[in-house]
Amino acid sequence: MATNDCWHCVQRSTLEDDSPLSVDNNGPENGSLSIVVLGASGDLAKKKTFPALFNLYKQGFLLENEVCIFGYARTKITDEELRNRLHGYLVKDKDASREQLEAVSKFLHLIKYVSGAYDSEDDFRLLDKEISKHESLTNTAEGSSRRLFYLALPPSVYPSVSKMIKTTCMTKSDLGGWTRIVVEKPFGKDLESAEELSNQIGELFEEPQIYRIDHYLGKELVQNMLVLRFANRMFLPLWNRDNIANVQIVFKEDFGTDGRGGYFDQYGIIRDIIQNHLLQIFCLVAMEKPISVRPEHIRDEKVKVLESVLPIKDEDIVLGQYEGYRDDPTVPDNSNTPTFASVILRVHNERWEGVPFILKAGKALESRKADIRIQFKDVPGDIFKCQKQGRNEFVIRLQPSEAMYMKLTVKQPGLEMSTVQSELDLSYRQRYNGVTIPEAYERLILDTIRGDQQHFVRRDELKVNSNQSLTNKEVEVPRKPIKCWRKLDMFKHTVIYGSLLLCKKFSVFTRYLLILHEDFKLLTLNKLEKISLEL
């Protein structure tokens, strides 16, 4: 027989506890906010970080009586010189109204500049002194101040900068205050370098303090993926191998490296785009439903689907390099860094067995576009004989001109019983006319201030990402350069000659033909022949 002491009551967490913004910060956040942009004189800071902060300021998320923004770099300039450099990136004077110019002026006066080296303890102590001065002016109680360090820097200096921050610039206690760091991709070149970087930063900061930013996770329609998948009943029974033929995730740019050849050549299109942006999108498309929308539950499911990806075979990879890439003076003459890559991922689980996920990314293509294309299987027993018109597709256009549309077969208007493919189209520009869609960096910086890590890469996720077998692939270039990229106007196709890495680097070169239709919808890969080349 049960006794009274066998039972006890436990209070359930409320629904609000499952909100992604319900983050325990050990107390109310009412202290001053100091945002430090390290690498303040660089392109990333000027073009992305400071404009994002300005937009958050305009929308009331950064309050003048709480926030101070510090720029830190080696360049010897004054506060006013930095403000003048930033002004043109925040607003164009000839198109600006008086109100906009006033807002820019007020924002710029929130910015102070400290010059120093990235490995100098004395310089960082000077930075800490300036931050503390701001905190005292806002009457912030010791321990309640908030410090956000944005590392708009090359990964090579992350360890030294992180060590300096830990040594000299941490908040003094945890009475509602915090110290957080934001690090930019790429997070290492391979598994070994990624793990080394993670270890160096992880020895200094706890995981809740580290925000590994991938700006694609801040895009409107990328953030919409979980809502689309798990808040709409119609997709639940369709989102599996029984109905979906393939998934294509495509990133295209219509320009080359544009002066960034030296930087790009260190990483290539795989590490720069596929291993970061496209794999993150792949996770959101392929992951299972999390038990809640809390950041850790979502990131747990992303790790699970990455661990379910089978090792990538060489025959599932095509690499290319656009003609003229090595003309860039900052690129080595013998560079074999790929500027185009197509890779097929195969997920070994009950939902996706047998469904290819085709990830494609390239520079110097015919247009600029990023989209997700879910292609459904053919209708069995097609009584209308309309398969040649194309399959049903659900397309999510990430950029430019955000949109979602479903391609359906319908009756052609008229007296005849003929079919035509049409679209159900949700164009954000038309449907949400007058609504400003925030930039990705705005969202992610605001998430960092709020302590929401849902849209940031966790360490174990980074490790699985870096362990993929495609990270070290290169274009195998014979001594006499092959034109890897050329136009065939008569067919309106782009033809790319690329080679896969062969086990034996002899005079046999496997040639592949990759046909990319102008709209980039189809991938036809034909292994033509093995040809002998004198290397």
For 412-450, the three-class secondary structure string (H helix, E strand, C coil) is: CCCCCCCEEEEEEEEEHHHHCCCCCCCCHHHHHHHHHHH
Q: How confident is the model at residue 282 (pLDDT cuts 50, 70, 90)?
A: very high
pLDDT value for 217: 81
> Which residue type does 350 have?
E
pLDDT one-digit tens code per residue, 434-463:
777 788 889 899 999 988 888 887 777 777
Q: How far apart are the first and last CA of the chain?
A: 86
Handedness of CA 327, 328, 330, 336 (dihedral sign): negative
Bridge partners of 342? 318, 360
Report the pLDDT averaged over residues 474-491.
Answer: 35
* pTM for the whole structure: 0.77
Active site residues: 277
Q: How many Cβ atoms are within 10 Å of 256's Cβ, its own excluded?
A: 18
Q: How confident is the model at residue 425 (pLDDT cuts 50, 70, 90)?
A: confident
Give the SS3 label for residue 505.
coil
Q: Is the pLDDT of residue 535 over 60?
A: no
pLDDT value for 466: 60
Q: Is the pLDDT of residue 281 over 70?
A: yes
Report the pLDDT averaged over residues 344-355.
Answer: 93
Report the pLDDT averaged over residues 409-420.
Answer: 76
267 vs 254: CA distance, rounded Å: 19
pLDDT value for 220: 81
Q: Which one of 136-140, 369-373, 515-519 scores highest in mean pLDDT?
A: 369-373
pLDDT value for 15: 41
% of the chain beyond a pLDDT of 70: 77
Radius of gyration, alpha carbons of the chain: 26
pLDDT one-digit tens code per residue, 222-244:
888 888 889 899 888 999 999 99
Q: Is the pLDDT of residue 496 over 50?
A: no
Q: How confident is the model at residue 327 (pLDDT cuts 50, 70, 90)?
A: confident
Q: Is the pLDDT of residue 356 over 90?
A: yes
450 vs 430: CA distance, rounded Å: 31
Buried b (16+ CB within 10 A) or exposed e, 471-489: bebebbbeeeebebbeeee
292 vs 301: CA distance, rounded Å: 11
pLDDT one-digit tens code per residue, 96-111:
788 888 888 899 999 9
pLDDT one-digit tens code per residue, 162-203:
999 999 988 876 667 889 999 887 666 666 777 778 788 888
Angle at which helices 50-58 and 79-90 pack, to 10 degrees? 70
pLDDT value for 127: 92
139 vs 372: CA distance, rounded Å: 49
Q: How confident is the model at residue 373 (pLDDT cuts 50, 70, 90)?
A: very high
| Cα atoms in the Cβ-side hemisphere of radius 13 Å centred on 109 | 8
The DSSP annotation for 215-246 comes to GGGGSHHHHTHHHHHHS-GGGTTTSSTTTEEE
Secondary-structure percent of the chain, ordered helix, strand, coil, rounded to 5: 35, 25, 40
| Alpha carbon 369 to its chain's center | 15
* Among 419, 396, 397, 393, residue whose Cα is nearest residue 406: 393
459 vs 465: CA distance, rounded Å: 10
pLDDT value for 69: 92
